[in-house]
Amino acid sequence: MRAASAINSKGGFWFATYEGGLSGELFVALLKKLMFNRKRPVHLIVDGLPAHKKAVVKDYVASTNGKLTLHFLPGYAPDLNPDELVWSHVKRTGVARNPLRKGEKLGPKVHDQLAQVQQNPELVRSFFRHPSVAYISDL
- Could you report the per-residue pLDDT of 117-131, keeping only the tens digit for each? 999 999 999 998 889
Expressed as residue numbers, the domain containing 45 is 2-133
Q: Which of 88, 61, 76 is nearest to 7 (CA)?
A: 88
* Domain contains 139: no
Between these two residues, 94 and 48, which has the higher pLDDT value? 48
* Domain contains 41: yes
- Count of domains observed in the chain: 1
Distance, CA of 54 to CA of 89 (rounded, Å): 29
* Domain contains 138: no
Entry pTM: 0.81
- Could you report the per-residue pLDDT of 55-103, keeping only the tens digit for each? 999 999 999 999 999 999 887 777 888 888 998 998 888 776 777 888 8
* CATH assignment at residue 7: 3.30.420.10
Quick one: CA torsion of 2, 82, 57, 113, rounded to 10 degrees? 30
